[in-house]
Amino acid sequence: MRVSADGTALPCLHGHGGKAACALAVCVAFLTFLVVALDPRTRASSWLLSSSPPAVFSPTLEKPSSRGSSNGGGPLLVTSSSGAAGKKKNSNGKEVLFRAFAVNATSWPGDVHGATPDYVSVAAPAPSPATQESGLGDAANSDGVIQVIPQIHRERDAKLHRLELGLAKARSTIMEASHNKDNRPPLTDKDYVPVGPVYRNANAFHRSYLEMEKLFKIYVYDEGEPPIYHDGPCHNIYSTEGRFIHAMEMENRMRTTDPGLAHVFFLPFSIAKMEKTIYVPGSHTMEPLRRTVFDYIDVLSTKHPYWNRSQGADHFMLSCHDWGPYVSSVDGNLFSNSIRVLCNANTSEGFIPSKDVSLPEINHLNDFKKDIGGPSASGRPILAFFAGGNHGPVRPLLLKHWKGKDPDVQVSEYLPAGVSYVETMRRSKFCLCPSGFEVASPRVAEAIYVECVPVVIADDYVLPFSDVLSWPAFSLRVAVRDIPDIKRILSAVSPRRYIRMQRRVRAVRRHFMLNGVPQRYDVFHMILHSIWLRRLNVRIHEDHVVGD
C-alpha cells in the first residue's frame, strides 16, 4: 500500500498528528520577531565551515601540483574514499575521483575557512586520473566556476545542462545577497523576513530560501513498499524521520514526478522502521539493514541512470535513528558522496558538515505544542535543569558531578512524582542538553519551544541548521571536560546577555516547529533548505556518454 496524496493513509496525520495539525493554527500566528542589532562577534564563530572533519573519514584534498593555484580559483583534486568503516579505499583499492573547484566567495554564507571545496564537480563515470587531468583544461574559467560542454548532446544531457544553469544562476544571486551585508532593505515576504544575529547571514539565507522555493525539485524514488520504504515513525524519538518521509510524500511544490527535472533524488527508506521489522533482536548485527540499503541502491542504479551519473552526489537519505551512520557506510558512494541527513551528526563517525545535513531530534511534540513559550528570566528560579536516563558517554559524567549536589543545577534521572518535566524546563534559565546514546538530544528543540536557553553538551556534534543559524547567539556550548564548571560558566552570563539570548531563542523557534502540514520556514522546510545548500555545492556534468 502506498500512501496517497490526499493524506488518507498517512499515519502522521492521524491520531496525535491530527491534533498537531490543528495546533498548527497557533504556530501560524507567530509573526516576525525583530531581533536586536547585529552582534559582530557572533558572525565570527561559524561552526559549519570552521569545523574541519576528522582526517580519517574526510575526503582528502590535494592540490594537483601542475596546475594548482592557491588563490581559491584553482582546481582541487578531491580523492573521495569509499567510506565504509572509515577506510580510505574500497575493497578493490579503487578510488573514486572527483574534481573540486574552490570558489571561495560562493561558499555559504560568505565566510570561508581553509580548504573546504565549494563545488564538487562530479563526472560520471569515474574518470581515470589521466582523463581527470585532460578534462581540467576546459573546466576552469577565470572565476573558477567550471563550464563543461557536453561532447554529445542528448535529451538527458540537455536537461541536466538546464538544471545546472539554473543552479548556477541561483548561486550567483545568493552570493550577491551574501555580500550585501544587509545594506539593502530586506526582501519582502508575506510570511516572515529573516533578520538579526540569529542568522549567520540573514539576507543570504532569505535569498537562498526564496531561490529554493522557486527552483528546487526533488524526485522521490517510487521503488519499495511500506513499512520500510515511504513510511517511518511519527511519534517517538525518531519522529523527524517519519515526519519528513511523510511530508515528502505529500509535498507538491518542490517534488517532481519527472526525474529528468530533479536536482536531488530522495532514497525514501526508514532505518527506524528497518530496526522494527528486519533487525533480529539480540543479534547485535546490523547486517540485514545494511544489506537492504545496499540492495536498494543496486536496484535503483540498475533501473535508473541517475545514481551512476553522479555516483550518488545528488542523492540524499535521511535517518534519525542512531544507526544511520553505520548502515549508510555499507555503500561507499552513499557514505562519501551522498547527502546524508542524520540526527546522529557525529563528526567522529564520518559526518561531514559541508556535505551532510544535521537533522533535529524532536520527541514529545504534543506536550510542548499545546503550550509553547515560557516566562522571562525573572520567572525562572532554577539556573540549570536536566532530567533523563543515565546512558551514553556524557550523561554519567553530568550525573556524577551534579546529581543532588546543588539546588541551582538540578540534575537527576527521574523527576519526583507530580513534578512536570515541561514546567520544570519553564522554570529554568538554562536547559542542559547532553548527548544520550548518540550526539543529538531532543532537549535542544524542547528548550527552544519553552524559551529556555539550550546548553549543548555534546562534543563532535554538528548542530542542526548551523549552515544558516548562528547558534552562539542563542545557545551555549559546554565541552564535556568542562562539566564540573557548568555552574560557574552559566552564572557568568550577565542578565543583559541572558535576555538577549532568550529573545533570540524565541526568534528561531519557527525553524524547529514540526507542523502536521508543513509551513514555510518550519523544520521541514529548513531541512529541505539544508539539502538545497548541499546541492548547490555540487555541480554535476557528463563529459562521457554512457549506456544507450
Ligand X SMILES: *[C@@H]1O[C@H](CO)[C@@H](O)[C@H](O)[C@H]1NC(C)=O
Q: Which residues bind ligand X (CB under 6 A)?
A: 72, 104-105, 301-302, 305, 308, 346, 348-349, 392-394, 435, 438-439, 458, 460, 547
Toward ligand X, which CB reaches closer, 32 or 285? 285
Toward ligand X, which CB reaches closer, 394 or 469? 394
Is the Cβ–Cβ distance between 299 and 347 less than 8 Å? no
Q: How far is the CB of 541 from ligand X (least distance, A)?
A: 17
Q: How far is the CB of 264 from ligand X (least distance, A)?
A: 18
d(CA 242, CA 450): 24
Q: What is the DSSP letter of 267?
A: -
Toward ligand X, which CB reaches closer, 31 or 152? 152
d(CA 375, CA 443): 18
Toward ligand X, which CB reaches closer, 424 or 441? 441
- Chain centroid offset of residue 471 CA: 14
Helix count (H) and strand count (E) of the chain?
A: 19, 15
Q: How far is the CB of 460 from ligand X (least distance, A)?
A: 5
Toward ligand X, which CB reaches closer, 292 or 310? 310
Toward ligand X, which CB reaches closer, 8 or 71? 71
Strand order in the sheet with 119-123: 60-62, 75-80, 96-101, 119-123, 538-541
Is 30 exposed, middle or buried (CB count within 10 Å of its CB: 0-12, 13-18, 19+)?
Answer: middle
Q: How far is the CB of 392 from ligand X (least distance, A)?
A: 6
Q: How far is the CB of 197 from ligand X (least distance, A)?
A: 23
Q: How far is the CB of 307 from ligand X (least distance, A)?
A: 7
Exposure string over 43-73, b if 16+ CB within 10 A, otherwise e: beebbbbebebeeebbbeeeeeeeeeeeebb
Going by C-alpha positions, the residue among 438, 420, 55, 27 that lies closest to residue 238 is 438
Toward ligand X, which CB reaches closer, 164 or 438? 438
Q: What is the CA radius of gyration of the chain?
A: 23
**Cβ contacts of 276 within 8 Å, gap of 6 or more:** 227
Toward ligand X, which CB reaches closer, 213 or 459? 459
Q: How far is the CB of 247 from ligand X (least distance, A)?
A: 27
Toward ligand X, which CB reaches closer, 178 or 519? 178
Q: How far is the CB of 526 from ligand X (least distance, A)?
A: 23
Going by C-alpha positions, the residue among 491, 453, 487 that lies closest to residue 472 is 453
Q: How far is the CB of 301 from ligand X (least distance, A)?
A: 5
Give CA angle at 215 (310, 135), nearest 5°.
35
- Which amino acid type is present at position 464? P
Toward ligand X, which CB reaches closer, 180 or 308? 308
Q: How far is the CB of 346 from ligand X (least distance, A)?
A: 4
Strand order in the sheet with 315-319: 218-220, 264-266, 315-319, 339-342, 357-358
Q: What is the DSSP letter of 514?
A: -
Q: CA of 137: how far to CAs of 133, 134, 148, 180, 536, in Å? A: 8, 6, 10, 33, 23
Toward ligand X, which CB reaches closer, 56 or 419? 56
Toward ligand X, which CB reaches closer, 69 or 376? 69
Reduced to 3 states, what is the DSSP secondary structure of residue 397? helix
Q: How far is the CB of 351 from ligand X (least distance, A)?
A: 9
d(CA 404, CA 303): 60
Question: Element (H or E) spanning 20, and its range?
Answer: helix 16-28
**Residue 531: count of CB within 10 angstroms of its CB:** 22
Q: How far is the CB of 347 from ligand X (least distance, A)?
A: 8
Question: Element (H or E) spanning 429, and its range?
Answer: strand 428-434
